Chains A and B, each alone.
Chain A
């Protein structure tokens, strides 16, 4: 057991090759997408809205289509079923999310300079935790919006889970919810880091074997 940790710890100090370091730099740059592009997009069609209502979720804000008008329209329609307004102030995520992504980016850059497998593993775990937490938080937000409906609502509907990924019919609306450009950039970023991690891990194992023999 102890021997495993010794071996494991030794491998964590192994330096990265050049290309995994470059992967990390690219991964860090990709994260910048969250400052410019939406993470998620919801599109809603109804007979009365043939062009669809658009809602873009950025890391720091909610932006309705049609110059912001679509968000107002969504809130206006939701008030009939007693749903709270989707308001930027209600999302604490918008305060910490861009900040945390910034830190992760910095940690990627740090790992690319310090260049040990350990530093790479650290930020990989942090990123994994952060990504999963964000997804859960997003899902929970949707859940709570769909489940805390005012009892005085003029139209009573069963509490519901808005779609997080994919399509769902909600009353007269077809709702489509999909990750948007910034999420894909984040996914790609994570993929690059994973590749760097796995490749380096396999290389150190090879190194280990070589040393042992």
Chain B
């Protein structure tokens, strides 16, 4: 090798190295959007002042967030975003003994999980009335929480034929119905096995209305409509102008199977189904349904007018009715626009039979005839909430932002970035006939880097946004357990709670109010232990059983003082009950382990809480 070659080689190496370094430096170290995002962090002093709720002070709003597959409902205060309470609904919760005592165990049934998505506060004339909170879950159930005591009172279902109850538990304006829908169409009735190849013809979707008793809130079966095998995703009830109708989005109009992310994203249009719920109930009451899975199900071919399809592009997710009920806002998650349908035009199109086709006998309305606007909100629009004066707020999953726009003028006026990938959003009373404005919470799917690291299992992030001004301002990051989908925000003074169960209201047949009445009675191998819990003794302080006895322990907490909860934890028997002041709870089990088993008060109650204990002796 001569000198020239060596020099050339050296220069080549140096050249490549210089090039590598230069090219490497060409890419910026942060995304272009960084500057914009920095702008989304609010003036710290203003934000702090707006969110700071001093010790002892109370929040302005309750915020009820679904707990997703945790099966629970989380209660927060707004604007502090403090977590106040967890209401167990579909999942046992040892903290309150839920799912351990006889009653709640029975209510849960065989399912110990539920994927809770959409809380629905009860309404009167389209406004929250603070009485109940309904929430759906995917196994075809809807639960009712009484907001007098924040306790789950009823779990209705699994409702026959509904498969994957996602588009739920939205209620009608006077809480006449909570709605349900199949996200996963299946062959009906449940239990029928048909190969996936026959999906387009043999599989069926269902939309359903669950009737709600106006005084007790008790749910019962209302009606069901048999639908083509689409995936029914979300729903909302019409109000004021559109009262009497419920809306469901449907993706997979392709009737595809397999790799849906591709196969169900081929058509430019999917649908929003419009159901006339008064007609559905009337037809059901007249016996027009076919018996499927033990309930009467309406076939749209036999009940004309019960359901119509509005074409909606593409792969729609949320459908939200404007406060005046005049616009139906659909968001196609694979589009850059949100579509506003004019309810008056929808009605006219129905009257004039202005159809563009049909799906399994269901008329499809002509898109051009019913659409008022395609609003260029941004990428991946999912859900819309409302403020006063016609303001609307749409969450943008792909853009990771919220767009603010105006009903009627369809003008997009502002955007605020979300960290990151927002799903639902919830503004103060933002889905009622009279939204408050003021606050908006973005419920984000990803939170990485916004909090101290807690390992791979990351919390979700909920970001509080001030919407009282022209420009939206980010106020606060809160982190929520998996996984809030939808949430609702209600003015705090609308909810009237009790803090103890008044003795006079306790009608439990096994309730006792005097320690003198506590004791053990035996009937064959059935043993009843009537127990009193009061500071600081569980009476009786011991009881004896025979191996194999079936024992029921009925515990009455005779306290009438706020916050004086008592627990009954029985070691090695997997029993953990918490009894609120004035409440009676029972737990029934088989004493099938011999020995001495301590029981004790689990819920700290008094200075002598540690002494609140006893022994169960099994011979």
Known: A76-B534, A76-B535. A69 touches B560 (CB 8 A): yes
Bound complex: CA of A73 vs CA of B608, how far in Å?
Answer: 15
Instruction: Name the contact of A80 in the complex, choosing from B559, B560, B607 (C-beta under 8 A).
Output: B607
Inside 8 A of A141's CB, which chain B residues have their CB? none
Residue contact A73 to B561, C-beta cutoff 8 Å: yes
Q: Return A122 CB to nearest CB of chain B, in Å.
A: 48
Inside 8 A of B534's CB, which chain A residues have their CB? 76
Inside 8 A of A72's CB, which chain B residues have their CB? 560-561
Bound complex: CA of A155 vs CA of B607, how far in Å?
Answer: 10
Bound complex: CA of A80 vs CA of B609, how far in Å?
Answer: 12
Residue contact A80 to B561, C-beta cutoff 8 Å: no
Bound complex: CA of A155 vs CA of B534, how far in Å?
Answer: 17
Is A154 located at the chain interface by the 8 A CB criterion? yes
Inside 8 A of B536's CB, which chain A residues have their CB? 80, 154
Inside 8 A of A155's CB, which chain B residues have their CB? 607
Chain B residues 94-122 with CB under 8 Å of chain A are none
Bound complex: CA of A155 vs CA of B561, how far in Å?
Answer: 21
Bitwise, A60-93 to B at CB < 8 A (1) or not (0) is: 0000000001001100100010000000000000
Bitwise, B598-619 to A at CB < 8 A (1) or not (0) is: 0000000001100100000000
Bound complex: CA of A69 vs CA of B559, how far in Å?
Answer: 9
Q: Return B580 CB to nearest CB of chain A, in Å.
A: 15
Inside 8 A of B561's CB, which chain A residues have their CB? 69, 72-73, 76
Chain B residues 426-463 with CB under 8 Å of chain A are none
Chain A interface bracket (under 10, 10 to 19, 20 to 34, 35 or more): under 10
Q: Return A120 CB to nearest CB of chain B, in Å.
A: 49
Bound complex: CA of A100 vs CA of B367, how far in Å?
Answer: 90
Q: Return B57 CB to nearest CB of chain A, in Å.
A: 14
Bound complex: CA of A103 vs CA of B453, how far in Å?
Answer: 80
Inside 8 A of A80's CB, which chain B residues have their CB? 536, 607-608
Counting chain B CB atoms within 10 Å of each CB, the highest count among A73, A76, A80 belongs to A76
Bound complex: CA of A76 vs CA of B535, how far in Å?
Answer: 7
Bound complex: CA of A73 vs CA of B607, how far in Å?
Answer: 15
Chain B residues 536-566 with CB under 8 Å of chain A are 536, 559-561
**Closest residue to B561 on the A side, CB-wise?**
A73
Chain B residues 146-194 with CB under 8 Å of chain A are none
Tell me what chain A mostly uses at the interface: helix, strand, loop, or mixed.
helix
Bitwise, A144-182 to B at CB < 8 A (1) or not (0) is: 000000000011000000000000000000000000000
Chain A residues 105-160 with CB under 8 Å of chain B are 154-155
Inside 8 A of B607's CB, which chain A residues have their CB? 80, 155
Bound complex: CA of A196 vs CA of B504, how far in Å?
Answer: 51
Known: A69-B561, A72-B560. A154 touches B535 (CB 8 A): no
Q: Return B506 CB to nearest CB of chain A, in Å.
A: 15
Inside 8 A of A154's CB, which chain B residues have their CB? 536, 608, 611
Inside 8 A of B560's CB, which chain A residues have their CB? 69, 72
**Closest residue to B558 on the A side, CB-wise?**
A72
Q: Return A62 CB to nearest CB of chain B, in Å.
A: 16
Bound complex: CA of A167 vs CA of B1, how far in Å?
Answer: 107
Q: Return B205 CB to nearest CB of chain A, in Å.
A: 53
Bound complex: CA of A72 vs CA of B560, how far in Å?
Answer: 8
Inside 8 A of A76's CB, which chain B residues have their CB? 534-535, 559, 561
Q: Return B165 CB to nearest CB of chain A, in Å.
A: 43
Q: Return B56 CB to nearest CB of chain A, in Å.
A: 9
**Closest residue to A73 on the B side, CB-wise?**
B561
Counting chain A CB atoms within 10 Å of each CB, the highest count among B559, B561, B607 belongs to B561
Chain B residues 500-557 with CB under 8 Å of chain A are 534-536
**Closest residue to B500 on the A side, CB-wise?**
A69
Q: Return A47 CB to nearest CB of chain B, in Å.
A: 13
**Closest residue to A49 on the B side, CB-wise?**
B561
Q: Return A7 CB to nearest CB of chain B, in Å.
A: 65
Q: Return B612 CB to nearest CB of chain A, in Å.
A: 12
Bound complex: CA of A73 vs CA of B559, how far in Å?
Answer: 9
Q: Return B502 CB to nearest CB of chain A, in Å.
A: 9
Bound complex: CA of A210 vs CA of B560, how far in Å?
Answer: 71
Q: Return B268 CB to nearest CB of chain A, in Å.
A: 63
**Closest residue to A76 on the B side, CB-wise?**
B535
Bound complex: CA of A154 vs CA of B608, how far in Å?
Answer: 9
Bound complex: CA of A104 vs CA of B534, how far in Å?
Answer: 45
Inside 8 A of A69's CB, which chain B residues have their CB? 560-561
**Closest residue to A79 on the B side, CB-wise?**
B535
Q: Return B521 CB to nearest CB of chain A, in Å.
A: 27
Q: Return B516 CB to nearest CB of chain A, in Å.
A: 14
**Closest residue to B559 on the A side, CB-wise?**
A76
Bound complex: CA of A73 vs CA of B534, how far in Å?
Answer: 11
Inside 8 A of A73's CB, which chain B residues have their CB? 561
Bound complex: CA of A76 vs CA of B608, how far in Å?
Answer: 12
Bound complex: CA of A193 vs CA of B58, how far in Å?
Answer: 53
Q: Return B294 CB to nearest CB of chain A, in Å.
A: 48
Bound complex: CA of A73 vs CA of B560, how far in Å?
Answer: 8
Inside 8 A of B559's CB, which chain A residues have their CB? 76
Q: Return A211 CB to nearest CB of chain B, in Å.
A: 70
Counting chain A CB atoms within 10 Å of each CB, the highest count among B534, B560, B608, B611 belongs to B560
**Closest residue to A155 on the B side, CB-wise?**
B607
Bitwise, A34-78 to B at CB < 8 A (1) or not (0) is: 000000000000000000000000000000000001001100100
Bound complex: CA of A80 vs CA of B608, how far in Å?
Answer: 9
Bound complex: CA of A76 vs CA of B605, how far in Å?
Answer: 13
Chain B residues 559-587 with CB under 8 Å of chain A are 559-561
Bound complex: CA of A94 vs CA of B239, how far in Å?
Answer: 62
Bound complex: CA of A69 vs CA of B611, how far in Å?
Answer: 24
Bound complex: CA of A49 vs CA of B379, how far in Å?
Answer: 54
Bound complex: CA of A155 vs CA of B560, how far in Å?
Answer: 23
Q: Return A24 CB to nearest CB of chain B, in Å.
A: 45
Bound complex: CA of A76 vs CA of B537, how far in Å?
Answer: 12
**Closest residue to B563 on the A side, CB-wise?**
A48
Bound complex: CA of A155 vs CA of B536, how far in Å?
Answer: 12
Q: Return A133 CB to nearest CB of chain B, in Å.
A: 36
**Closest residue to A48 on the B side, CB-wise?**
B563
Q: Return A55 CB to nearest CB of chain B, in Å.
A: 15
Inside 8 A of B611's CB, which chain A residues have their CB? 154
**Closest residue to A77 on the B side, CB-wise?**
B535
Bound complex: CA of A72 vs CA of B534, how far in Å?
Answer: 12
Q: Return A96 CB to nearest CB of chain B, in Å.
A: 30
Bound complex: CA of A70 vs CA of B307, how far in Å?
Answer: 59
Given contacts A69-B561, A80-B536, 11 further A-B contacts (CB under 8 A): A69-B560, A72-B561, A76-B534, A76-B535, A76-B559, A76-B561, A80-B607, A80-B608, A154-B536, A154-B608, A154-B611
Nearest 10 pairs between A and B by C-beta?
A69-B560, A73-B561, A76-B535, A154-B608, A72-B560, A69-B561, A80-B608, A80-B607, A76-B534, A154-B611
Q: Which residues of A contact B (CB under 8 A)?
A: 69, 72-73, 76, 80, 154-155
- Can you spell out 10 A-B residue pairs with CB atoms less than 8 angstroms apart? A69-B560, A69-B561, A72-B560, A73-B561, A76-B535, A76-B559, A76-B561, A80-B608, A154-B608, A155-B607
